[in-house]
Amino acid sequence: MKKTLKIIGKILLGFLATLLILLACTYIFNKIMLPGDRRLIANQQISQMVEVDGKKMSIYVSGEGDHTLIFLAGSGATAPVLDFLPFANRFSESFKIVIAEKFGYGFSDEYEGSRDVDTRVRQYRSALKAAGIEGPYILCPHSYSGLESIYWAQNYPEEVEAIIGLDMAVPRAYDFFDEKAVSNINTTNTLKRTLNNLGIARLLVGGFLPKDEPAEVRALIKSVILRGYCNKTMSAESDYVFSDIKVLDSKPTPDVPTLLIVSDGTISEGWIDFQKDYASKLTDATAVFLNCGHSVYNLEPEACEKAMREFIEHLK
């Protein structure tokens, strides 16, 4: 029996030693490759970089027209410009198209200060001003950035011509959140960040890259992911969910023309009802319900484009 236990012990120690050696190798390899990722991002020619609060923030601008569409990404989106670009460019011959990347997202720097909704919206506005993009804007938020758009319209109504929600979140969608939910999000983000820092993500990321993109775009997406996957700036937003909701609830729902393009609701229990309830508070609201998942602009781009064009035509 003792001999058997010794053999098992040696096997386990051997396995542990092998695992530690492999982790050390992936960690070192990742450290060696990261400067190349940073150089690739620094040399990208897709998005312009503007200075906000002493950091560089990414703004993509294309097209001209009577309306300016500002696309805002949901929480945790790794590369908003590259993700939105195929859909947003459908409108570039008719309108000015802008894709704004918050700090901690895409090509933008990380930021150590507050990530509350007031700071995020202030930084968006500063970036647009620095890029010479004047309002009023049609805000096109996806998911969590719906809260930012509502705050924007509440506090700077002269800057918001309309809101087009691409399955955007509304305040009531977070009523089920509690401290445990936020803690779970933070724990998950910390684990993902650790795996990235150890180089594990570098081994796995290739399987999640879009197959239909050119090689140079795939390489850029990969570099963006590996440079800052679940970074602290991005992850810190969840710490402000409750205070952000209180801030939004302290003022009336902004009664601006609104189009809600709504998914099948599988993202969260009660999602569709929350959207309907939000629309019921508005004078000029249109809701379009799609039978697809949360990323409506990727899953049903034609339907989204049709609904958006009809809505914008109504604004003229």
pLDDT score at 238 = 92
pLDDT score at 297 = 97
**b/e for 47-61, b at 16 or more Cβ within 10 A?**
bebbebeebebbbbb
pLDDT score at 70 = 98
pLDDT score at 28 = 87
273 Cβ contact partners less than 8 Å away, ≥ 6 residues apart: none
Amino acid at 123: Q
Alpha helix locations (H) across the chain? 2-42, 80-88, 117-130, 145-155, 179-197, 200-204, 215-228, 232-235, 241-249, 271-280, 296-299, 301-315
Given a cut of 70, the residues of the chain with pLDDT beneath it are 1-9, 316
pLDDT tens per residue, range 190-206: 888 888 888 888 888 87
pLDDT score at 232 = 93
Cα 218 to Cα 79: distance, rounded to the nearest angstrom: 11
Q: What angle do CA 5, 11, 14 make, to 5 degrees?
A: 140
For residue 258, give the nearest of 178, 154, 181, 162 by alpha carbon: 162
pLDDT score at 9 = 66
pLDDT tens per residue, range 156-201: 999 999 999 999 999 999 998 888 888 888 899 888 888 888 888 8
Cα 21 to Cα 42: distance, rounded to the nearest angstrom: 32
Q: What is the pTM of this model?
A: 0.91
pLDDT score at 215 = 85
pLDDT score at 5 = 63
pLDDT score at 216 = 84
- Map out the domains of the chain with their CATH numbers: 42-315 (3.40.50.1820)
